[in-house]
Amino acid sequence: MHRFYMPKSESEARAIQEELRREIRLFDDFDKLETIAGIDVGYDIENGLAHASIVTMSMDDLKPIEAVEASVPVDFPYIPGLLAFREIPAVLDALDGLVTRPDLFMVDGQGIAHPRRMGIAAHIGVLLNKPAIGVAKSRLTGRYDMPGMHKGEQSALMAGSEQIGVVLRSKDDVNPLFISPGHRLSMKTAVDITLRCLTRFKLPEPTRLADKLSKVRPVKQMTLLSA
């Protein structure tokens, strides 16, 4: 599996994306979704590190269960559309610290709303063969009409005649989120789960808490008692 997330060149990375793209399943393919993990990746520019934060929680009540973090050296250059190769090594390292693997991943980034339909959420979903959703704060590709200004209003993100995502207003009068399935989920289910994970904040709880965790002192593993 090593070559699927640590390519030696840009051309190899693009070839990997095209290969993995054939494995994506954009329909509901799961037995249960009892736990969800939010994933957020940031950078320690000064030290050349990618820093992954993961928070798992119950789908029923959105209560945090466990949290892990990991930092690894960034070995792949910054190339738009290939950011997953900079971030996935840190994500996989952090996942090794989880006691229990979640049923579903929600990633701060793109699912299939990507020029080659292979954003980081799709990449992680295929590598781990788990349902995955991309929840991005900005558009990478595609066109859309701006949705209404109230929470829950949405519009289609299109690439030609293909729908690659949903532009979702997650909170009244804030910039929308860009939702796309990554693997083993339909478009509708990806949006429904995102809506289910929204509280009073712009970001859904899994990625909001992962982002929050990334801004505190790094730890390899800890249990969250409160959010």
Range of the domain at 51: 2-222
Residue 17 domain-assigned (yes or no) = yes
Three-class HEC string of the chain: CHHHCCCCCHHHHHHHHHHHHCCCCCCCCCCCCCEEEEEEEEEECCCCEEEEEEEEEECCCCCEEEEEEEEEECCCCCCCCCCHHHHHHHHHHHHCCCCCCCCEEEECCCCCCCCCCCCHHHHHHHHHCCCEEEEECCCCCCECCCCCCCCCCEEEEEECCEEEEEEECCCCCCCCEEEEEEECCCHHHHHHHHHHCCCCCCCCHHHHHHHHHHCCCCCCEECCCCC
Radius of gyration of the chain (CA): 16
The string of pLDDT tens digits covering residues 186-205 is: 999 999 999 999 999 999 99
Q: Return the residue matching tokens 């990997």.
A: 16
**pLDDT tens digits along 148-183:** 999 999 999 999 999 999 999 999 999 999 999 999
Mean pLDDT of the region 40-68: 96
How does pLDDT run across 78-119, given as a tens digit for each residue? Answer: 999 999 999 999 999 999 999 999 999 999 999 999 999 999
pLDDT at 1: 67
Please indicate, yes or no, if residue 227 is contained in any of the structural domains.
Answer: no
Q: State how far the alpha carbon of 14 is from the alpha carbons of 75, 95, 110, 115, 183, in Å.
A: 16, 25, 16, 11, 19
21 is a domain residue: yes
- Residue 108 assigned as binding residue: yes
| Residue 173 marked in a binding site | no
pLDDT, tens digit, 9 for 90 and up, residues 114-139: 999 999 999 999 999 999 999 999 99
The reported pLDDT for the residue numbered 226 is: 33
- Say if residues 94 and 73 touch (Cβ distance below 8 Å): no
Given pLDDT bands bounded at 50, 70 and 90, which one contains residue 220?
very low
How confident is the model at residue 9, as a pLDDT? 96
Distance CA(146)–CA(195), nearest Å, equals: 18
Task: Give me the mean pLDDT over the 47-73 stretch.
Answer: 97
CATH of residue 170's domain is 3.30.2170.10
Task: Judge whether 28 lies within some domain.
Answer: yes
Q: How high is the pLDDT of residue 62?
A: 97
Domain total in the chain: 1
Instruction: Tell me what pLDDT residue 3 has.
Output: 83
| 92, part of any domain | yes
Q: Look at strands 35-44 and 104-107 and give their pairing.
A: parallel
Alpha-carbon distance 179 to 187, whole Å?
8
pLDDT for the residue numbered 219 = 44
In a domain, 83, yes or no: yes
